[in-house]
A and B are shown apart, each in its own frame.
Chain A
Amino acid sequence: MKIKIKVKHLVLYVLIPVFLLTAAALWIPGAVDRYQASQTPEAIRARMLEKIEAASGADKLERIAEFAVLPSAYEPYTFDVRLGPRVMMQSDEDNPAPLTPEDRVPLLELYVGSGPPGDTLLRAANQLAYEYDALGQAEQATRMLERTADRLDLDEHADGQKLRQELAKREPPTQTPGKTPAASTFSGRLIDRDGSPVRRAGIYLLGEEGSDSAERNDPYQAVTDPNGNFEILNVAPGFYQIELGLDYEQVDGRSRPVQWDDWIEIKQGRNLSKNLTLRPLIELQSPVNGQKLTEDTVEFRWTPVQGAAYYDITGFIPDENGLSGTGTVIRSRIPENRLSLSIEELYAAPGASTLPDSGKWEDVDPNYLLAYMNPNARFSWLVRAYDAEGRALSESSGYRLNPEQTNNLPFFYLKQRELSGTDRLLLKGRLSQAFEQYRQEAESDPRNIHALRMTARLMLSNVEISHDALAKKELLPLLERLTAGVSSPQEVERMLNLLYEEADWDAYEHYYERYTRLNGGQVEPYLRSLHAASLFYRGRAGEAVQEFEQTLPDDPGHRFVGLYLAAQLQEGRTLGEALELARRYPELGYEQGGRGWTKLLNTMLSERSAAGSAADFDTRLRTSLGEFAQNRAADPLASLPPTPTGSASIDAFVKALTNIR
């Protein structure tokens, strides 16, 4: 075949396209790289600084405003993460902040000194004050704010009030000689796990009354200086919880330094100083990374924590969507940094108790029922360390961001058994059918513990949701058989809660004993408080007092202190003595105030002394408390208001008791 082609065609249609393509091939990567380089934060920062440098006068101030003041990322107390006893939250926003604090301080100073009056100026002043604080130059911040306040007419601007408030916060508490100052100072130091200071971190004090961590205008906040020091002036007396604001690098691999229900008290006129230490996350050793366990003994191991008196392990079972939401404690009060369990003990640990949306027990997620007996499920676990006083020290779960932290993923499989046909039926969601089959299997072979256990679990689910008395009756002998053998404290615990709510006191006592035995002789504080409450309801106030006194030191929230006080009163303590106890164990949280019970007792004391007959008052109190206890003995969740006694303070006190559940 011959090809004839004119030179012009060859050039136009072949050589030139080829040339262009080659040129493009060589040029494009270079161009892409150059473009990407120009979009890096460093490049953007350089451009911004150049533009500011190049400008002058009003133009310069405008550019400073645009690049260094207005972007939301520069607002004070903007952190990647908020850590607290109740929260571990990260910010959704991804706002770029190319300029460093060192860049911004001179720019802010310039703007605050000569910028046009307005909201932007106030904003800049606020930001500059924050930067001075972060440098440990709080006084300079105050002076700058005062100068700014003088320059402007604060009432004209929306943010003017904020500046006034900011100045008010910074005023040292007035020291009137002879009088205790009304407000106190809270100060301290935030230290990292290796002893180095944590700088530019946020410290927040959240009071009791419904304050949400999501609010940005928290009343008490400070930023740590280069030595990790912080100071909050003019704190009103009360109970507070501490939260931290940290960036990703600061929180990566660190555990929350404060625990659930950890409150500090700021007393009137007394300053409080507290050092906070970020501890490293506990490293899990085994089983990790999807290890498939096949031995009869399962051994959990983790790196020990200095100062830990004991640990507990929580396991997570994935639900039907593969997500592991709620975890349940597998074992608590573990004295060393390892735990050996037989596989049967692990099988006996139930999953979380869930309430399906439909309200029908047949819709319960079967994964939680089969729990650790499912060889296909990918379980995960975490460990927490506690000191001798029961305060949490650190945990294994937290932010694991850099690649070194992502070793040892907390996953494992239990391959010691295989799914039976009934198991498969269960996992498909056919709970009623599976239930019938398990039941038959258990009846025909009494040694089939698995069938027995699953029958019991399905029945328990049913009873928890429907409160079917007949089902409950049938359940008890099954549970008896199960817990007589290899079992777990958690297996009994759910039953115990149920029996408590149903006021089935004989069965309750029986299983309380069994639970204690299975839990190595220890009783968890919450269950112990419930037990103490039940003793009070059943007229055994003396024993109730003893039990409460065991738990109250371990339970900083003191949720049941009201019942403790009631028990003490029934035992013959005076109101004055009760008042002293209320002060020692203040109840803290949202609904109650730390002063709740002391106030109620004080009111009773005044009413009693004003009353004609003190003995009469005492009798009325006794009767009312007795009636309350009897109501509760029949129904521990009863919240009926008491029969009026004629004394308002007594009624108020007993009414408060009915709110404890």
Chain B
Amino acid sequence: MRETERSAIKRKLDEELKLHTFAGQEAVLKRTHPAPRKTRLHALWNRELEWVLNPAGLIGGTAALLLLAALPVLSYTLQSPQPAAEQRELIEVGGNIYWSDTYRNEVDRLEN
């Protein structure tokens, strides 16, 4: 007698649930049977991101990228102002002997 009861209940359930669709199979399966780490990482790795660009964003983004690319060069030149090779030599001018850089500094200073 149980078999019939079961099938009858099943038939009734099916009819009532015909109008509803169960969409959360994946979510449930994920929770009951979580995928192994590897698969999950792989999925993340290949996940597609999407965003909308506008011109401002495009310009801003390019500017940011260029700045970042230029950072090493900028910081090098800003932080290390001294000439790596001090090629100063002695020069004779007007009877006196000067270091070429001291002399040039003085001349520049006077001309300004």
Contacts and interface: CB of A to CB of B under 8 A. Distances in A.
A327 B75 contact: no
A314 B94 CA distance: 10
B22 interface: no
B13 interface: no
Interface string A1-35: 11111111010000000100110111011001100
Interface residues on chain B, size class: 35 or more
B72 A382 contact: no
A28 B49 CA distance: 34
A25 B44 contact: no
A316 interface: yes
A29 B94 contact: no
Given A28-B75, A29-B79, A289-B110, A2 B97 contact: no
Contacts of B99: 401
Contacts of A78: none
A10 B110 CA distance: 56
A400 interface: yes
B93 to A, nearest CB: 7
A289 B102 CA distance: 14
B76 A29 contact: yes
A7 B47 contact: yes
Interface in B90-104: 90, 93-99, 102-103
Interface stretch (B1-9, B25-33, B50-58): B50-58
Interface stretch (A152-160, A402-410, A626-634): A402-410
Q: Of B58, B68, B74, B94, which is in contact with the most chain A CB atoms at under 10 Å from its CB? A: B94
A410 B97 CA distance: 12
A401 B94 contact: no
B19 interface: no
Interface centre among A6, A21, A289 (most CB of B within 10 A): A21
Contacts of A401: 97-99, 102
The binding surface of chain A is classed by DSSP as mixed
Nearest to B77: A29
Interface string A481-502: 0000000000000000000000
Given A380-B95, A382-B94, A411-B94, A4 B49 contact: yes
A407 B49 CA distance: 67
A402 B102 CA distance: 8
B71 interface: yes
B106 interface: yes
Interface string A410-450: 11000000000000000000000000000000000000000
A401 B90 CA distance: 9
B107 interface: yes
A7 B95 CA distance: 71
Interface in A45-89: 88
B15 interface: no
Contacts of B94: 316, 324, 380-382, 397, 409-411
A197 interface: no
A318 B54 CA distance: 66
Contact of B50 (A3, A8, A88, A380): A3
A339 B97 CA distance: 25
A490 B26 CA distance: 111
B106 to A, nearest CB: 5
Interface in B57-87: 58, 65, 68-69, 71-72, 74-76, 79-80, 82, 84
A411 B75 CA distance: 41
Nearest to B105: A403
B83 to A, nearest CB: 11
Nearest to B78: A29
A397 B96 contact: yes
B21 interface: no
Contacts of B45: 6-8
A101 interface: no
A4 B102 contact: no
Nearest to A1: B53
Contact of B74 (A25, A32, A380, A398): A25
A398 B97 contact: yes
Contacts of A400: 96-98
Given A2-B50, A2-B53, A21 B95 contact: no
Contacts of B16: none
Nearest to B53: A1
B102 A406 contact: yes
A43 to B, nearest CB: 15
B112 interface: no
B52 A2 contact: yes
A324 B94 CA distance: 6
A399 interface: yes
A104 B49 CA distance: 69
A24 B49 contact: no
Contacts of A382: 94-96
Given A18-B68, A406-B102, A5 B49 contact: yes
Contacts of B72: 21, 24-25, 28
Contacts of A342: none
A401 B98 CA distance: 5
Interface string A450-469: 00000000000000000000
Contacts of A2: 50-53
B25 to A, nearest CB: 25
Contact of B49 (A7, A32, A88, A314): A7
Given A1-B52, A36-B84, A21 B71 contact: yes
27 contacts: A2-B52, A4-B49, A4-B50, A6-B45, A7-B47, A8-B46, A10-B49, A18-B65, A21-B69, A22-B71, A24-B71, A24-B72, A29-B76, A36-B80, A314-B95, A316-B94, A380-B95, A381-B94, A382-B95, A397-B94, A400-B98, A401-B102, A403-B105, A406-B102, A409-B96, A409-B106, A411-B94
Interface of B: 44-54, 58, 65, 68-69, 71-72, 74-76, 79-80, 82, 84, 90, 93-99, 102-103, 105-107, 110
Given A28-B72, A410-B95, 17 more contacts: A4-B50, A6-B45, A6-B46, A6-B47, A7-B49, A8-B46, A22-B68, A24-B72, A25-B72, A29-B75, A32-B76, A382-B94, A398-B96, A400-B98, A403-B105, A406-B106, A409-B94
- Complex A-B, nearest 3 residue pairs according to Cβ-Cβ distance, in ascending order: A380-B94, A397-B95, A25-B71
Interface of A: 1-8, 10, 18, 21-22, 24-26, 28-29, 32-33, 36, 88, 90, 289-290, 314, 316, 324, 327, 380-382, 396-403, 406-407, 409-411
